[in-house]
């Protein structure tokens, strides 16, 4: 495996020729900083590191937990997720829970330190290893970045599927809406925890980071052919019915129906959930607010479908 000598090596999804093709998947590994230790190739979509016997890479370190951390690989994007270890996972000296990795980063599990490196050799078999379960692991990592949202994406997915069926979609189409909703916030995987968890108003720069997540989410999933039909739903779930949304300012029926469904389910769950700065809103407040914004922010037909089922929706997880 060959690695560049530069301190930082950035691999974007776009082809360097700018022709719309996807940058091929490159091999990557964790290189132990201890002498004579064996590098660990990150050639699976997800890998568990720890000192137990049921892990993908076992480290002989009493300060490491048995299942210490998970490394997620989605094309040329890699993330490390602490699994509730006793002594923590550290990235370049800072304790982290979920963070994206960059070439040259130093990761510490217990007392054992690794250098993360992305090589120039291609991983030709990578796409064959990806499954929906693997991608969903990334969505779960996003939910875990904010303890107040918990299983937000899972709840939005359930509500979105019910809305799709209520609007006349068949079971197969409703299932695709559910999957899109499950993955709708996957672009937030790259947003710093401090921004996602901030209890007060966001700065303009912080809000700009948040606004990127629909495009980033579609970009993350773009290499996966089995999700190609879901990319528009994910990219456009923050459009507004009146054209005032983002990223493309689409209006009305030009917004994919799945996006319009996800937006309503997402907004409902946000209002019905506890937040750091407020308690969950009561049903009548939610009904009033959704009705008030039907036709401007939201598709009126989707709002009508949600209001019809409002009394039957379970309390958010």
pLDDT of residue 224: 85
Are 56 and 47 in contact by the 8 Å Cβ rule? The answer is: yes
Q: Which residue has the higher pLDDT, 278 or 112?
A: 112
**Sheet arrangement for strand 106-109:** 40-41, 26-32, 112-122, 106-109, 89-91, 94-96
Q: Please name which of 152, 145, 141, 154 lies closest in space to residue 78, comparing C-alpha atoms.
A: 141
User: Lowest mean pLDDT: which of 140-144, 280-284, 312-316?
Assistant: 312-316
Whole-number pLDDT of residue 141: 73
Question: Do residues 163 and 154 make contact, with C-beta atoms less than 8 angstroms apart?
Answer: no
As given in the structure block, the two tokens for residue 309 are 């089922």
| Predicted local confidence at residue 23, as pLDDT | 63
Instruction: Quote the pLDDT of residue 12.
Output: 36
Q: What is the mean pLDDT of the segment spanning 65-94?
A: 92
- Give me the pLDDT at residue 4, please: 35
Predicted confidence band of residue 53 (pLDDT cuts 50, 70, 90): very high
CB 153 within 8 A of CB 181: yes
3 state DSSP class of 228: helix
**More confidently predicted of 69 and 19:** 69
* 254: pLDDT strictly greater than 60: yes
Q: What pLDDT does 314 receive?
A: 61
Residue that the structure tokens 């309390």 belong to: 315
Q: Which of 25, 129, 188, 198 is catalytic?
A: 188
Find out whether 17 and 24 touch, Cβ atoms under 8 Å: no
More confident residue, 174 or 221: 174
Confidence (pTM): 0.76
Q: Please tell me the distance from the alpha carbon of residue 133 to that of residue 71, in angstroms, as a whole number.
A: 15
Average pLDDT score over residue span 185-189: 87
Contact criterion met (CB below 8 Å) for 79 and 91: no
In the chain, which residue ranges form alpha helices assigned H by DSSP? 126-129, 132-144, 152-166, 171-182, 193-196, 204-211, 213-221, 231-235, 257-271, 283-292, 300-309
Buried b (16+ CB within 10 A) or exposed e, 187-219: bbbbbeeebbeeeeeeeeebeebeebbbbbbbb
Per-residue pLDDT of 205-215, as tens digits, reads: 999 999 999 99
How many residues are there in the chain? 317
The highest-confidence range among 76-85, 135-144, 299-308, by mean pLDDT, is 299-308
pLDDT of residue 143: 76
At 9 the pLDDT is 27
Residue 141 C-beta-side C-alpha neighbours within 13 Å: 31
User: What's the whole-number mean pLDDT along residues 108-119?
Assistant: 96
Residue 301 has pLDDT above 60, yes or no: yes
Sorting pLDDT into bands at 50, 70 and 90, what band is 195? confident
What average pLDDT does the segment 174-181 reach? 97
Which is higher by pLDDT, 197 or 235? Answer: 235
DSSP reduced 3-state for 30 = strand
Distance CA 160, CA 181 (A): 7
- pLDDT higher than threshold 90 for residue 2: no
Tens-place pLDDT, residues 213-222:
999 999 888 8
| 273: Cβ contacts below 8 Å, ≥ 6 apart | 148, 149, 152, 280, 316
The answer on pLDDT for 125 being more than 50 is: yes
Per-residue confidence (pLDDT) for residue 5, from 0 to 100? 33
Rounded CA gap, 153 and 185, in Å?
Answer: 7
User: What is the average per-residue pLDDT within 194-199?
Assistant: 81
Tell whether the model's pLDDT for residue 47 goes beyond 80. Answer: yes
Q: What is the mean pLDDT of the chain?
A: 87
Min mean pLDDT across 26-35, 98-107, 128-137 is at 128-137
Q: What is the pLDDT of residue 239?
A: 98
Residue 70 makes CB contacts below 8 A (sequence gap 6+) with 46, 47, 48, 49, 80, 81, 83, 137
129 is catalytic: no
Higher-scoring residue by pLDDT: 228, 151? 228
């Amino acid at each position: 495996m060959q690695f560049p000598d530069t301190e930082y090596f950035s691999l974007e999804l776009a082809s360097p020729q700018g022709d719309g093709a996807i940058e091929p998947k490159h091999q990557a590994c964790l290189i132990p900083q201890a002498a004579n230790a064996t590098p660990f190739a990150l050639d699976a979509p997800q890998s568990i590191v720890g000192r137990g016997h049921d892990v993908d890479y076992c480290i002989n370190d009493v300060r490491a937990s048995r299942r210490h951390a998970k490394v997620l690989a989605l094309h040329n994007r890699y993330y490390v997720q602490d699994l509730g270890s006793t002594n923590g996972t550290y990235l370049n000296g800072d304790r982290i829970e979920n963070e994206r990795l960059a070439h040259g980063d130093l990761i510490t599990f217990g007392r054992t330190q690794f250098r993360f490196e992305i090589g120039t050799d291609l991983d030709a078999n990578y796409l064959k290893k990806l499954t929906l379960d693997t991608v969903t692991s990334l969505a779960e990592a996003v939910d875990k970045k904010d303890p107040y949202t918990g299983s937000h994406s899972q709840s939005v997915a359930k509500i979105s599927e019910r809305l799709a069926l209520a609007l006349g979609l068949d079971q197969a189409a409703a299932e695709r809406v559910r999957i899109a909703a499950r993955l709708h916030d996957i672009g937030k995987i790259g947003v710093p925890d401090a921004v996602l968890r901030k209890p007060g108003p966001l700065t303009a720069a912080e809000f700009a980071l948040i606004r990127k997540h629909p495009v980033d989410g579609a970009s993350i999933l773009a290499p996966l052919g089995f999700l190609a039909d879901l990319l528009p739903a994910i990219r456009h779930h923050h459009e507004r019915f009146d054209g005032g949304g983002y990223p493309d300012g689409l209006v009305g029926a030009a917004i994919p129906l799945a996006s319009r469904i996800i937006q309503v389910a997402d907004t409902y769950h946000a209002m019905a959930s506890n937040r750091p700065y407020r308690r969950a809103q009561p049903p009548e407040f939610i009904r009033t607010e959704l009705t008030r914004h039907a036709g401007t922010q939201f598709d009126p037909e989707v709002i009508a479908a949600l209001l019809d089922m409002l009394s039957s929706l379970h309390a958010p997880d």
